[in-house]
């Protein structure tokens, strides 16, 4: 029997289904009128679409068809043999193409925000606006790696991931109580209320006979299946042509990227806007949902 946990303002998606992308079933979740204009939400690494359960309804209430999806190996999407940024981008294209062929606003958090920078660079026609929630990579010096160095990094990353995959292919995530799983998540998200983290367990976990465990593929770890370097994404930002809003966390926490506003001065697209939420951590849209939603509404209205 599944425990029922409520959180103020959180609403489960109104529609849930799968889209097959290259043979992998990607779980799609929607809020709002199916006939309305779409707005896409992209979750971060080790997360899932329903981390937007409190945020997405604000946009559905404003008249948008809000669409999000669980990246492969996350949430209710199927697990895959291997994972990578390119595969995540292909999955995003598959979902977005299923919904519309017209430009639409896209909001990405953390890794999802960085993924969308790369997709916006490659497929700008899919984006009417791009909004990034604390997923602006800039932790390293911004000189690019020469091709021979990229090849060496590729070989090292692939070997490491294949070793990791071999040891976790038949693994199962450690079970716990609902409160125990929430407490474990709190170590990574110390600023988020325990009531939210308990709700998150029921949205992104499953209740097996031996306890609760996350649905996340045990092979998944930060960064996906490499290689990826922050500067490779950051250097694509200046050429983006759609209206761009970056929302940066002002408070450091374990899952954050540590990016500072000064790191981004030379990389913001022309006319791009950067807002710093000084009293919020990495999950800006969960800590201060109304303030962040207001920023986005203002940006969408001003960018039309």
For the stretch 185-197, pLDDT in tens is: 999 999 999 999 9
Residue 172 is predicted with a pLDDT of: 78
Residue 229 is predicted with a pLDDT of: 77
Mean pLDDT, range 28-36, rounded to an integer: 98
Q: In this predicted model, what pLDDT tens digit does every residue of 233-260 receive, in sequence order?
A: 999 999 999 999 999 999 999 999 889 9
Q: In this predicted model, what pLDDT tens digit does every residue of 136-147 receive, in sequence order?
A: 987 554 444 445
Report the distance separating Cα 80 and Cα 73, nearest Å.
6
Q: In this predicted model, what pLDDT tens digit does every residue of 3-20 receive, in sequence order?
A: 789 999 999 999 999 999
Structural domain contains residue 7: no
Residue 145 is predicted with a pLDDT of: 46
Q: Is the peptide bond before 227 cis (omega within 30 degrees of 0)?
A: yes
Structural domain contains residue 3: no
Structural domain contains residue 5: no
If one counts the domains in the chain, the total is 1
Write the DSSP string, 64-127: -EEEEEPPTTSTTSPP-S---HHHHHHHHHHHHHHH-SS-EEEEEETHHHHHHHHHHHH-GGGE
Residue 224 is predicted with a pLDDT of: 57
Q: In this predicted model, what pLDDT tens digit does every residue of 45-83 receive, in sequence order?
A: 999 999 999 999 999 999 999 999 999 999 999 999 878
Q: In this predicted model, what pLDDT tens digit does every residue of 218-229 receive, in sequence order?
A: 888 765 556 677
Structural domain contains residue 1: no
Mean pLDDT, range 152-164, rounded to an integer: 68
pTM of the model: 0.91
The half-sphere exposure of 279 on its side-chain side, counting CA atoms within 13 A, is 3
165: domain CATH number? Answer: 3.40.50.1820
Residue 222 is predicted with a pLDDT of: 65
Structural domain contains residue 2: no
Structural domain contains residue 191: yes
Structural domain contains residue 170: yes
Structural domain contains residue 255: yes
For the chain, report the end-to-end CA distance as a whole number of angstroms.
47
Residue of 142, 125, 157 lying closest to 264 (CA atoms): 142
Report the distance separating Cα 188 and Cα 254, nearest Å.
5
Domain that holds residue 182: 15-302
% of the chain exceeding 90 in pLDDT: 76
């Amino acid at each position: 029997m599944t425990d029922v946990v409520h959180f103020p303002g959180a609403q489960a998606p109104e529609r849930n289904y799968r889209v097959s992308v290259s043979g992998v079933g990607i779980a799609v979740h929607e809020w709002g009128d199916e006939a309305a204009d779409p707005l896409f939400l992209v979750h971060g690494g080790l997360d899932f679409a329903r981390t937007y359960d409190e945020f997405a309804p604000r946009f559905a209430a404003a008249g948008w068809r809000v669409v999000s999806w669980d990246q492969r190996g996350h949430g209710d999407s199927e697990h895959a043999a291997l994972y990578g940024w390119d595969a995540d981008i292909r999955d995003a294209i598959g979902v977005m193409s299923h919904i519309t062929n017209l430009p639409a606003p896209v909001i990405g958090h953390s890794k999802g925000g960085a993924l969308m920078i790369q997709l916006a660079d490659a497929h700008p026609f899919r984006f009417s606006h791009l909004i990034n929630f604390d997923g602006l990579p800039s932790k390293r010096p911004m000189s690019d790696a020469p091709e021979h160095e990229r090849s060496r990094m590729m070989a090292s990353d692939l070997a490491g991931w294949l070793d990791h995959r071999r040891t976790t292919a038949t693994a199962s995530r450690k079970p716990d109580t609902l409160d125990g799983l929430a407490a474990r998540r709190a170590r990574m998200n110390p600023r988020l209320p325990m009531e939210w983290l308990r709700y998150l367990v029921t949205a992104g976990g499953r209740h097996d006979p031996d306890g609760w465990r996350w649905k996340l593929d045990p092979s998944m770890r930060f960064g996906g299946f490499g290689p990826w370097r922050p500067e490779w994404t950051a250097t694509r930002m200046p050429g983006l042509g759609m209206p761009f809003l970056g929302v940066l966390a002002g408070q450091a926490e374990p899952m954050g990227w540590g990016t500072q506003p000064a790191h981004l001065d030379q990389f913001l697209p022309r006319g791009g806007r950067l807002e710093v939420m000084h009293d919020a951590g990495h999950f800006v849209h969960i800590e201060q949902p109304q303030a962040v939603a207001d920023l986005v509404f203002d940006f969408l209205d001003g960018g039309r």
